[in-house]
Structures are given as C-alpha cells and as structure tokens.
Amino acid sequence: MTITSTLTRTEGHLRLRAERVGARTRITEMECRAPLQLMRCHYLDAAQPDMAFATVVSPSGGVLQGDRLELQVTVAEGARLHLDTASAMRLYRMPDQRAEQEVTLTVAEDGFLEYLPDPAIPFAGADFVGRTDARVAEGATLILTEAVTAGRAARGEVHQFKRYESVVEIGRPGGPVLSLDATILDPADGLAALGRLGGQAATGTLYVVGAGFGAATLRAAAADANVPDTVAGASTLPGGLGAWLKVLGPDGPSVSAVLTAAAAAAHEAILGTPAPGSRRP
C-alpha cells in the first residue's frame, strides 16, 4: 500500500500603510488574508499622542509546514507607528516542507516605526526561513527586534528543530543593501559549541536605524537590565545606519527582557520621552 502525503499550504499576508492624518497616525490602507490580521489602532502614549499602536494577530495559533506568510508595512512621511504581536510565533513540526515568512518594512522621511514581535518558538522538526527587507530614509527611524528560543524546553525539546534561518537586510529606499545579518541555526552544527551559542538556548537581535544613533545607549540599557545569565554586545551598523545589539540567554523571556529594555532606551533617546509600559498582565 502506498501512502501519499497531502500538503495543505496557507498563503497569508498583511499589507498596511500608515499615514499622518491631522494630528494622528492612521492606517489608511490595509489588505489581509488569513491567518494574518491587524487589531485596530490605539493611542497609548500621552507624551506622543500622534503615535498609533497596533498588534498583528494570527488566530491559527502557529505556522505549519508549507505556509507562506508575508508582512508588508509602509510608514509614510511624518507618521509614527508601533507594531507588535499578540503572542510568540510557534513553528510546528514540518516533516515534508519548510515554512517561509517575508517581511518588508519601508519608512519614509521623518517617519518612525517600531516593530517588536514576540520570539519564535521552533518545535521539534520545525524548518523555517524568514527574510526581512527594511528600507529606511535617512531622516527616518526604525526600531526592530527578533528573537528565537531553543524550542519547548519544558517538553525536553531543546534544539530539536531541523533548521531556523532569518536574514535581515537594511538599506535606503531605492538604494543598495547596506547591512545584512543572518541568523542560521542548525542543530546538526552543534549549537552548544563555543563560537556558536556556547551553551545558551535563545538568541535575539535589536536593530536601531536612525541618524546619529550610537551603540553606547544599547550597551548601557543591556547592562542596566541586569537579566541573569544573559550576555549582550552592541556595535554600529555599517553605512551610518545606526546601531544593533545581539543577546544570548538561557530562554526566550530572558532574551526578550534585554531586548525590551534596550528598545525602550532607544525609543527614549530618539523621541525624548519614555516608552509606554506593556499592556500585558
């Protein structure tokens, strides 16, 4: 008897445009296809009343084999948008085909975008490729984080996924790529070895693209966060783009705590007011 595998693929997308309309930033264009959706905007920062806060949600609960997801965000001139996610991205077992996600971020002159998604959690057997293309005008700002955990550690799934790959490219609109950063995790390479994760279980990155922004702010924020068993390092991005921070830690919450603290410090350094606290309990 021959058993044929039937692969069901989801091709979801969320494409949105944020513009300054009067005294506030509004979502002026949006197109979505399940499982990606956007919750309506709120205005949560009394010190920055024009900034819109929105959350990307996925009712499917996770990413399955063969899925193709696309997120496209455009922030127009003078608009300011904070974008996050409702929960971690769960990458389920993928025995037959990998899943892919493509993120495109475009920020026009004097625009401001914070995109702070929750970490990815690759289950045993997960196979995932993500690509982010960020195009930021010279007078604009982008604060971007990404993080990945070792898996479902409570179930003993530590680095039991097939492969996790995430590539982030940053440049100016219409120009060449000025910075390229690849996070490629393959358990077959011995991730616990020195020169790889060195015994740590989770890793994350913060990118701050903004004129004149330096690494010192990120170093100080990571040190002040004082999260146990984490290590972090910051340096400048090439092409005069700004600065970035790399974090290693024992688990996703630890890495996320450092990234959140550093992102908040960057927010305050650029806008001059503290970032509002989390709405989560």
DSSP state of 161: S
pLDDT value, residue 10: 85
pLDDT value, residue 155: 87
Tens of pLDDT, residue by residue, the chain (281 residues):
444 445 567 899 999 999 999 999 999 999 999 999 999 999 999 999 999 999 999 988 899 999 999 999 999 999 999 999 999 999 999 999 999 999 999 999 999 999 999 999 999 999 999 999 999 999 999 999 999 999 998 888 899 999 999 999 999 999 999 999 999 999 998 887 767 888 899 999 999 999 999 999 999 999 999 999 999 999 999 999 999 999 999 999 999 999 999 999 999 999 999 999 877 65
Amino acid at 226: N
Its sign, for the CA torsion 170, 172, 174, 179, is negative
DSSP annotation string for 106-142: EE-TT-EEEEEPPPEEEPTT-EEEEEEEEEE-TT-EE
Tokens 């609960």 locate to 61
* Number of helices and strands in the chain (H, E): 2, 17
pLDDT value, residue 6: 53
pLDDT value, residue 2: 44
pLDDT value, residue 4: 45
pLDDT value, residue 170: 98
What is this structure's pTM?
Answer: 0.95
Burial class (CB in 10 A: 0-12, 13-18, 19+), 61: exposed
- Residue of 38, 40, 92, 84 whose CA lies nearest to 61: 92
